[in-house]
Structure 1
């Protein structure tokens, strides 16, 4: 076999090597030309040439992941197998193993990991090791109203962490850093209650329609908490109209959109221009003139004495009566 291989390297083409086939050292049958071609291609070609790359599977890693999924999330063998089948490669098994070990070390209430995997498995499994711990610490230090906090944590702290991570990745895709995105969520936790599509629509409107940079959200995070259709769009329409007619002296800033009350914005931009009332929406001026009354209209008239008209004759008779009394 060694002699044949050395001859292959010296003489080409290979088929010319075998005019009179000679038996190999341990075989009485002539060598197969296709086999010699394959050996020559392996020896003389680049390393790994002609061999398709196959993903390497690690049975031990898969077995440990099955155990971690069963112990940490309560998944059955079939559920864990279906989950592992969707992983991209062997490198993800190591990362997922570290992630599941971290989740098991957090000692979350029973069923939270399973519920998070069922609701949004892609967002949870795409986290890097250490990220769940940081998000849970972020949620513990969240300062907001108790009603908002209870809504955020209504489905478990882990699902709240997954929701926060979704919003962070959305803002990062728009140009914010991770630190700034977390600052925005910390200042405006209501953004975690809205669907990601709603947050994406607000950011798109801020950049495309209003012409502001996404970095303004760090200074005015309440933009993500107000209603876009009822709060921002009417004000933007009024400002656009005033720009078209030259009614704006100073540029309109973000604070005019998010921090002015409806009454202050009306007095500043709508009241001097009556045609803007229809654009702004709602009969604001008529509503301002209405006074809230504690009693029905006309009830006070029942307690007022009736008033009679006085003629000249009545006045003359009254003077005679007063004069006779003196």
Structure 2
């Protein structure tokens, strides 16, 4: 697996050697298999399957930085939803270590888990899970009621987060009176009511129509820009992942295949499985100039400067300098030259991969 490190700083979430195995005596069977295989992940998984167990998540290790949107994606059955449920301790992990703000939650007792879910974790799922007999405001305020907050404070906070998700004025409606997209907005608002440190979203938009889905993706990005939550987002849609992620982890059959930025995934897929995800992606819209530029020891003479910036997409850069043939400068955020790039390299980056 290719692993690009998380941004610097103490991680908000740290997973080390996480396994999730389903079956009778899963922990003992895993320990036995690891001993027999010398800790080899693939061999251990094969041995577990031969013995009638299901290794849904296999030896997963990664960090998520504070404020990062970390997207986990894969096909159905890849283990992505199982992984997020294990990280959130909705199901007990079989082995490994999962630390949230330094605390290993795999060892937390039931009382501590309740406190974590009540105060630190916000969760949104594909199925809205709203209480039909409660109003929108009551649904959103329900986690605050569990915290013991008074009715006036609960409603005030509910109205605050409902405005954040563009549902101001619908607080006294019932779920049956809302569209699917509006119901999902209620679910998002409810997950944010307690102002959680971590935000877990398991395919929250996949049941919605494409237009509503794009609108909610935009709203998610707007909320994320305002609040800066540490988010773990599950999807099977590469376009959605590329749109919202700081980094993407791609899973296959319980194993992490590649972790990287959207540019990494699009331009440098590690194998055919990842390449298949990105085959139809318009690379020029998602990859940026800084991923293919170079910084030579001495800058060549560059009489023409089309004004490229490191954060421009390749499509935009090509449009700016298509008629130029010499290397052109790329400017960094500090106003100094960060490197140079050849127009031919820009074009090469968009060439489809060989079959």
Relative contact order (C-alpha < 8 Å, sep 6+): which is higher?
A: 2
Structure of larger gyration radius: 1
Structure with the higher fraction of residues in strand conformation: 2
